[in-house]
Chain A
Amino acid sequence: MSSMLPLFVAFPLGSAFLIALCKNKKFADFWANLCTLVLFIMSLQTIGILKTHGTMVYKMGNWAPPIGISLVLDGLTVLLLVTVNLIAFASCLFSVGYMEKYTAKSKYYALFLLMLTGMNGLVLTGDMFNLFVFLELAGVASYALVAFGTEAEELEASFKYMVLSSIGAAFVLLGIGMLYSYTSTLNMADIARILSYRGLSVTTLFIGVLFMVGFGIKAAIVPFHPWLPDAHPSAPAPISAMLSGVLIKALGIYAILRVFFCVLGFGLNPAFLEILRILGVLSMMIGVVLAIGQWDIKRLLAYHSISQVGYVILGIGLGTPLGILGGLFHLFNHSVFKSLLFLNSGGLDYAVGTRNLKQMGGLKEKMPVTEKTCLTASLSISGIPPFNGFWSKLIIILACIQARHPGYAFWAVIGSILTLSSFMKVQRYAFYGAPKKVMKKIKELPPCMQLAMIFLAIICLFGGALLLPMFKNNFLQPAVQVLLNGDKYAEIVMACLK
């Protein structure tokens, strides 16, 4: 069973090389979609595996950690794996139609799969340096993909993203180096074990700051966010969906959670949680306020990503089981609806040829599917009852009140209302109102793009059902348990090795 784990990395990697080797466009379309579909099914299987076998450790090259590299499958990993592969499948399906506008489609797929490899590997790994290498793999692929259109703005956004993100990676590498010197091992569980009996010191604090800056840049938490509103709109729409939906979460939030909760053992330290909460609220408010003034639809969505990441961090920063549940559930939901929104914006761009909301209007009759799915996602992101966004925001707000932080709950509500208002604007300008003259020739999108959007919209609609005990106990609760028992990470992993 456990031999499935390396396939999450090897399969997309091999597919990427294969696609690069035979440059046939049809083959690339087919193979990339097959690959993401298989990965998605495999990731769903891991839920079952986790239920029957518990936490699982795979020894790479049969070297027991800390000698070799190990892969660890636990609740948090499963949650992220499902999210990443779900969004990857939808984006890949969408790109079949959308990427016809660009040249070099097979290279696009190869880079796409390499980015997917990076994220899957990062989520699975149990080794600090391996985490850095995967971080760079996903990073380098995303720099290239942001610049894929080779227009001036795209290149510039990519350069900015690259510089900031490389500085982040440099901080992470410095942190890993110091951690290695301090503990003389690279395996996460081993580091956690050694640090837990060494206790807190200036050195660990400094390492913590380095990781916070490094991964914070990747997650676009507020003081480190300036690259995001440039980079995300510049990329092709499926890539924006990937970047916004999962890349900032896998590279940023997952890494922060894994490193701080499980490895450094800061997890239940009240000062650390306070910092997380403050960062969360800051990101939430600044993101949403900047978003309201935007007229470029993708830029608006990008600012909302910052804001929604703020919700996730706030929920986790509460440190209570309910708060963490809300945060992680919101992470999953945000991936789904934000990807859907980016795909919608890509669809609009594809059909209309502009991203400026002022130049759109009256698309309701012309593009019914896009309109419906976009409405679903907008309502979901602003937290209107039957959709999944409502449930996770509700949990976060309840958890705030329960943890005696009503101030944070207040800010969360305000943020939600502002979000609603800005998405009303999108709906109003893009789909309703008088149709412009230019809009006559517009047709609905190709079927595969519609399919991708409908697929995600259905998940949006029924996402709330994940809170039913049947799903919750298998999917969300194990992830919450991992964070709550962060300080026992070493024991859990070591127990699996025996």
Chain B
Amino acid sequence: MIYLLCMILFCIGLYCIIIKRNLIKIIIGMSIIDYSLFLFLVLIGYRMEGRAPIYSQTQQVKNLVDPIPQALVLTAIVIGLAVLALMISIAIRLYEKYGTFDINEIRKLRG
């Protein structure tokens, strides 16, 4: 089951976020989760012996792969990038305030 490999990647990211106490590691975990989701979406659209969904002038193309997941992933990549950028900027700002990336030391708020 190739989907399961994807899920393992997802779980690595989740594990990283739950266990690690470092802001950058958490960001890395987030991006790994994102990657696994992109991969999953593209996998569900793949067709055996498929071709890229682009028509060409010279030859007749058949058996194109599903274009919708690809469009979705393109959108999701942009959103992932946006969230990542915002996260990094907040992490940098937090570093400036506390002088560390360790969330045990940052934890000022309870709850």
A162 in contact with B86 given A156-B109, A229-B111 (CB within 8 Å): yes
Query: Could you tell me the distance between the alpha carbons of A157 and B110 in the complex, rounded to whole angstroms?
Result: 10
User: In chain B, what residue has the closest Cβ to A146?
Assistant: B90
User: On chain A, which size bracket covers the interface?
Assistant: 20 to 34
Contact B23 A159 (CB under 8 A): yes
Cβ of B87 under 8 Å from chain A: yes
**In the complex, chain B residues whose CB is within 8 Å of the CB of A226:** 111
Please, how many angstroms separate the alpha-carbon atoms of A163 and B90 in the complex?
Answer: 11
Q: Are B83 and A173 in contact (CB under 8 A)?
A: no
**Is residue A186 within 8 Å, beta carbon to beta carbon, of the partner chain?**
yes
B37, A157: Cβ atoms closer than 8 Å: no
> Would you mind naming 5 contact pairs between A and B with Cβ atoms under 8 Å apart?
A152-B94, A156-B107, A159-B23, A159-B94, A177-B41
Q: Within residues 19 to 66 of chain B, which ones have a CB less than 8 A from any CB in chain A?
A: 23, 26, 30, 33-34, 37, 40-41, 44
Task: Give the distance in Å from the alpha carbon of A173 to the alpha carbon of B26 in the complex.
Answer: 19
A145-183 interface bits toward B, Cβ cutoff 8 Å, 1 = contact, 0 = none:
001001011011111101100110010011001101100
**Chain B residues closer than 8 Å to A158, beta-carbon distance:** 90
Contact between chains at B108 and A136 (CB < 8 Å):
no
**SS class, residues of chain B in contact with chain A:** helix
Tell me, rounded to whole Å, the shortest Cβ–Cβ distance linking B31 to chain A: 10
B5 proximal to A (CB < 8 A): no
Shortest CB-to-CB span from A482 to chain B, Å, is 27
CB distance from A14 to the nearest CB of B (A): 20
Partner of A163, one of B17, B82, B98, B106: B17
Smallest Cβ-Cβ distance to B97: which chain A residue:
A152
Contacts of A290 in B (CB 8 A): 111
- B111 contacts A163, CB within 8 Å? no
Question: B72 and A147: CB pair below 8 A?
Answer: no
CA distance A143 to B87 in the complex (A): 9
Indicate if the CB atoms of B33 and A140 lie closer than 8 Å: no
> Are B40 and A166 in touch, CB under 8 angstroms?
no
Flag B64-96 by CB within 8 Å of A: 1 or 0 each: 000011001001100100110011001101100
Determine how close the nearest CB of chain B comes to the CB of A255; give it in whole angstroms. 17
Nearest 10 pairs of A and B residues by beta carbon: A181-B44, A152-B97, A229-B111, A230-B109, A136-B79, A177-B41, A170-B33, A155-B94, A159-B90, A173-B37
Bound CA–CA A394/B74 (angstroms)? 49
Whether A170 contacts B37 in the complex (CB less than 8 A), given A153-B108, A153-B109, A180-B44, comes out as: yes
| Interface pair B111/A170, CB less than 8 Å apart | no
Complex Cα gap A181–B72 (Å):
13
Chain A residue at minimal CB-CB distance from B109: A230
Q: Are A174 and B34 in contact (CB under 8 A)?
A: no
- State in angstroms the CA–CA spacing of A226 and B72 once bound together: 31
Give, as a whole number of angstroms, the nearest-CB distance from A5 to chain B: 21
A173 vs B40: C-alpha distance in the bound complex, in angstroms? 10
Residues in A with CB closer than 8 Å to B10 are 170, 174
User: In the complex the two chains form, what is the Cα distance from A156 to B87 in whole Å?
Assistant: 11
Query: Which of chain A's residues 106-152 have a Cβ closer than 8 Å to chain B?
Result: 129, 133, 136, 140, 143-144, 147, 150, 152
Q: List chain A residues, Cβ under 8 A from B12.
A: none
Contact check, B111 vs A177: say whether CB atoms are below 8 A apart.
no
Q: Report how far A358 CA is from B75 CA in the complex, Å.
A: 49
B71 to nearest A CB, angstroms? 9
CB distance from B40 to the nearest CB of A (A): 5
Q: Which of B75, B86, B90 has the largest number of chain A CB atoms within 10 A?
A: B90
| Contact B93–A174 (Cβ < 8 Å) | no
Extra contacts besides A133-B75, A153-B109 (6): CB < 8 Å: A129-B72, A143-B90, A147-B90, A155-B90, A180-B72, A226-B111
Contact A170 B91 (CB under 8 A): no
